[in-house]
Amino acid sequence: MLTQVLDLLACPSCSAEVTQTSSTELKCSSCGRGAPVTPAFIDMVREPGKPDPAAPTTAQKLMESTAFVRLYEAVMRPFFSRLFAGFGNHIPDYAEEFEIYRKWLKLGEENTGTWLDLSCGAGYFTDQLAGAVPEATVVGLDISEAMLHKAVQETVGRRNVHLVRGDVRQLPFKEGVFDGVNNPGSLHLYADPVGAYEAVFRLLKPGGVYVASTFAVNDLVSSRIGVRMTGIRRTDLKQLPVQLEKVGFVNYRLIKFGSVFAFAVTKPEA
Ligand SMILES: C[S@@+](CC[C@H](N)C(=O)[O-])C[C@H]1O[C@@H](n2cnc3c(N)ncnc32)[C@H](O)[C@@H]1O
Ligand SMILES: [Zn+2]
């Protein structure tokens, strides 16, 4: 199991290969950075002897709180989607939302491959991805330990799922290894979304698809209050396709539900 994911991993500090030095640790073959292997996930954030990066916003502090995570999928995610989308708009339920990602990622056309659920949170979509492509390798990555512990429960019994603690600012993977990257509900938490588009582009194989969803800028009072309360960043929908094209992506597709939206883009074939 570990061997499969080890083939994909690279050092988050220097991008060199990582090797397994014991049952509880990986090590970078170049800079020597260690990465703890816990029963739940491989930790590519924690550096032995150093403090973990602090959560930059109130929203991210919540994502790292066990109490919030316990209520995340049933209560918090649906509530915040409505708050930022504008109450009264149709918001897809989990199954409808996954159907959008499944079609864009072309899951099921191929039953194999290597897929990343970037910022997998409590693991709902990681579990769905793993079920849709049971012969494939599915990696769920998140920076929040509390979310990853929930994702372990959500994906229990899925032998093709590997959970990694990682930071989108220093993604711990080799270049060109993923057939698709799924990234729902998370861009608004990143300090540098364009940096994330660039990182995803590098990780994708030629022809690979990037799918994400987040909140658009709007004038709704509920959305503005939500931004002030949580510190999230909303996306300018005019700039988004321009930014993605600048990174190198093609074939931009968009679907909107009020101010919640999802998009897909493709890395061109070589
Ligand atoms: C609102 S949740 C979305 C989770 C899941 N994708 C979903 O759609 O339900 C956003 C996730 O982004 C993660 N996140 C925030 N900053 C991150 C970073 N720098 N690197 C990786 N993940 C991050 C949070 O920990 C959280 O689990
Ligand atoms: Zn290194």
Asked if 154 and 245 sit in the same domain, the reply is yes
* Residue 47 CA to ligand 2 centre (angstroms): 11
Token readout for 259 is 């101010």
Q: Is residue 174 part of a domain?
A: yes
* Residue 119 CA to ligand 1 centre (angstroms): 4
Domain encompassing residue 199: 58-266
Asked if 73 and 206 sit in the same domain, the reply is yes
* Residue bearing the CA closest to ligand 1, atom 27: 121
Q: How far apart are CA 38 and CA 226, in angstroms?
A: 35
* Residue bearing the CA closest to ligand 1, atom 25: 144
pLDDT of amino acid 1: 61
Asked if 21 and 123 sit in the same domain, the reply is no
Q: Is residue 45 part of a domain?
A: no
The number of domains in the chain is 2
Asked if 68 and 21 sit in the same domain, the reply is no
Residues in the chain where the model's pLDDT stays below 50? none
Asked if 100 and 17 sit in the same domain, the reply is no
pLDDT of amino acid 270: 77
Asked if 23 and 116 sit in the same domain, the reply is no
Is 123 in contact with 155 (CB distance < 8 Å)?
Answer: yes
Q: Mind listing the pLDDT tens digit for each residue in 197-243?
A: 999 999 999 999 999 999 999 888 888 888 888 999 999 999 999 99
Q: Is residue 204 part of a domain?
A: yes
**What residues have CB less than 8 Å from 257, skipping those under 6 apart?**
85, 89, 90, 91, 92
Asked if 216 and 88 sit in the same domain, the reply is yes
Q: Is residue 49 part of a domain?
A: no
Q: Is residue 65 part of a domain?
A: yes
* Residue 17 CA to ligand 2 centre (angstroms): 8
pLDDT of amino acid 85: 82
Asked if 20 and 102 sit in the same domain, the reply is no
3-state secondary structure of 78: helix
- 187 DSSP assignment: G
Asked if 123 and 217 sit in the same domain, the reply is yes
Q: Is residue 8 part of a domain?
A: yes
Angle made by CA atoms 203, 204, 206, in degrees to the nearest 5: 140
Q: Is residue 35 part of a domain?
A: yes
Asked if 25 and 82 sit in the same domain, the reply is no
Three-state secondary structure readout of 202-262: HHEEEEEEEEEEEEECCCCHHHHHHHHHHCCCCECCCHHHHHHHHHCCEEEEEEEECCEEE
Percent of the chain having pLDDT more than 70? 100
What is the value of pTM for the model shown? 0.97
The CATH number of residue 200's host domain is 3.40.50.150
What are residue 211's DSSP bridge partners? 182, 264
* Average per-residue pLDDT for the chain: 94
Q: How far apart are the first and last CA of the chain?
A: 30
Residues in the ligand 1 pocket, defined by CB under 6 Å = 60, 63, 77, 119-121, 124-125, 142-144, 147, 167-169, 184-186, 189-190
Q: Is residue 48 part of a domain?
A: no
Asked if 13 and 120 sit in the same domain, the reply is no
Asked if 142 and 255 sit in the same domain, the reply is yes
